[in-house]
Amino acid sequence: MSKKNPEYDFKWCPGCGDFGVRRAIEFAMINRLEETGLPMENNVVVAGIGCSGNLVHLLEGQQPYGFHGIHGRTLPVAMGVKMARPELNVLVVAGDGDFLSIGGEHIGPQAARNLNICAVVMDNGVYGLTKGQSSPTTQLGTVTSSTPYGKIEAEADPLELYLTLGATFIASGFSGQPRELAKLINQGMDHEGFAMVHVQSPCTTYNDTFELMKGNPRKGIEPLMYNISEEHDVSDKGAAYNLVQQRGMPVGIIYKDEARPSLQQRVDEIKAKAPRRSVEELMDSFAF
Amino acid sequence: MQMRDFVVRFAGEGGQGVVTSAEGLAQASTQVGYHALTYATFPSQILGGPTWTQARISVDPILSAGDDVDVLVAFNREAYDTHREEVREEGLVIYNSNDFELEGDERSYGLPVDELARSTGNNRAANMVIMGALAHLVNMPQAYLEQFVEARFRRGRANDDEIIDSNNLALKLGRDESASSGFSLGDLTPPAMPEYPQIMLKGNEAICLGALAAGLDFYVGYPISPATTILVFMERNLVGEGKFAYQVSSEIESITTILGAGYAGKKAMTATAGPGFSLMSEGLGLGWMAEIPLVVVDVQRGGPATGLPTKTEQSDLLACMYPAHGDVKLPVIAVGTVEECFFGAVKALNWAERYQGPVILMTEMALAERVQNIHRPDLSKVQPERRLVYDGSNGYNRYQGHELSPMPLPGSPGAYVANGSEHDEMGDTTHLPSRHVQMTERRFSKLKLLEENEFEADNSDEAVVIMPWGGSKGPALEAYNQLREQDVPVGWYYTMLLSPLPPALLEELKQKELVIVPELNYQGQFSGILRSQGVNAVSITQYTGLPFKVRDLVERITEMTNSHPKEMVRA
**Is B212 at the interface with chain A, CB within 8 A?**
yes
* Cα distance between the two ends of chain B: 49
* Cα distance between the two ends of chain A: 60
| Residues A126-132: contacts with CB under 8 Å, at least 24 apart | A126/A203, A126/A206, A126/A207, A127/A50, A127/A97, A128/A50, A128/A51, A128/A95, A128/A203, A128/A205, A128/A206, A129/A49, A129/A50, A129/A51, A131/A206, A132/A205, A132/A206, A132/A207
Interchain contact, B209 vs A276, CB within 8 Å: no
**Is B424 at the interface with chain A, CB within 8 A?**
yes
User: Hey, which residues 496-525 in chain B have their CB within 8 Å of chain A?
Assistant: none
Of A9, A63, A73, the CB nearest to B252: A73
pLDDT tens column, A221-259 = 999 999 999 999 999 999 999 999 999 999 999 999 999
Q: The domain containing residue A22 runs over which residues?
A: 2-284
Asked if residue B395 has pLDDT above 50, the reply is yes
Q: Which CATH class is domain B2-188?
A: alpha beta
Of A8, A83, A288, the CB nearest to B198: A288
How many Cβ pairs closer than 8 A exist between chain A and B?
189
Q: Is B540 helix (H, G, I), strand (E, B) or coil?
A: strand
Q: Where in chain B is the domain with CATH 3.40.920.10?
A: 2-188
**Is B256 at the interface with chain A, CB within 8 A?**
yes
Cβ atoms of residues A48 and A37 within 8 Å? no
Q: Ramachandran region of residue A5, left (φ > 0), alpha (ψ -120 to 50) or beta?
A: beta
Q: Which fold has domain B200-381?
A: Rossmann fold (3.40.50)
Helices (H), B92-125: 113-119
Q: Is A212 helix (H, G, I), strand (E, B) or coil?
A: helix
The average confidence (pLDDT) of chain A is 96
pLDDT at residue A111, rounded to an integer? 98
Q: Tell me the one-letter amino acid at A113.
A: R
Interchain contact, B418 vs A41, CB within 8 Å: no
Which is more confident, B74 or B565?
Answer: B74
pLDDT at residue B569, rounded to an integer? 45
Q: Where in chain B is the domain with CATH 3.40.50.920?
A: 456-563
The pTM of the full predicted model, rounded to 2 decimals, is: 0.96
Of A63, A83, A87, the CB nearest to B244: A83
Question: Quick one: pLDDT band at residue B485, thresholds 50, 70, 90?
Answer: very high
Question: Quick one: pLDDT band at residue B41, thresholds 50, 70, 90?
Answer: confident
pLDDT tens column, A152-192 = 999 999 999 999 999 999 999 999 999 999 999 999 999 99
Interchain contact, A88 vs B199, CB within 8 Å: no
Which of A46, A85, A87, A114 should one mutate to test binding to chain B, selecting the residue with the greatest count of B CBs within 10 A? A85
Q: Which fold has domain B456-563?
A: Rossmann fold (3.40.50)
Q: Where in chain B is the domain with CATH 3.40.50.970?
A: 200-381
For residue B123, with 0-12 CB atoms within 10 Å meaning exposed, 13-18 middle and 19 or more buried, which class applies? Answer: exposed
Which phi and psi angles does A203 have, rounded to 5°?
Answer: -95, 110
Question: Quick one: pLDDT band at residue A3, thresholds 50, 70, 90?
Answer: low
Interchain contact, A271 vs B264, CB within 8 Å: no
Alpha-carbon span B292 to B357, nearest angstrom: 5
Residue A203, domain CATH = 3.40.50.970
pLDDT at residue B17, rounded to an integer? 82
pLDDT at residue A171, rounded to an integer? 98
Of B303, B385, B375, B310, which Cα lies nearest the Cα of B341?
A: B375
A283 interaction partners in chain B (CB closer than 8 Å): 199, 209, 376-377, 379
Interchain contact, B217 vs A8, CB within 8 Å: no
Calculate what percentage of chain A has a pLDDT beyond 90.
Answer: 94
The average confidence (pLDDT) of chain B is 95
Interchain contact, B252 vs A76, CB within 8 Å: yes
Burial B138-160 (b: 16+ CB within 10 A, else e): bebeeebbbebbeebbeeeeeee
Question: Quick one: pLDDT band at residue A1, thresholds 50, 70, 90?
Answer: low
Cβ atoms of residues A177 and A168 within 8 Å? no
For residue B391, give how far its alpha carbon lies from the nearest alpha carbon of chain A (Å): 13
How many domains does one find in chain A?
A: 1
Cβ atoms of residues A256 and A168 within 8 Å? yes
Asked if residue B44 has pLDDT above 70, the reply is no
Sign of CA dihedral B321, B322, B323, B328: positive
Alpha-carbon span B524 to B510, nearest angstrom: 18
Which of B239, B398, B431, B434 should one mutate to test binding to chain A, selecting the residue with the greatest count of A CBs within 10 A? B239
Rounded to an integer, the average pLDDT of B318-323 is: 97
pLDDT at residue B563, rounded to an integer? 82
Rounded to an integer, the average pLDDT of B43-67 is: 88
For residue A193, give how far its alpha carbon lies from the nearest alpha carbon of chain B (Å): 17
Of B529, B350, B358, which Cα lies nearest the Cα of B443?
A: B358
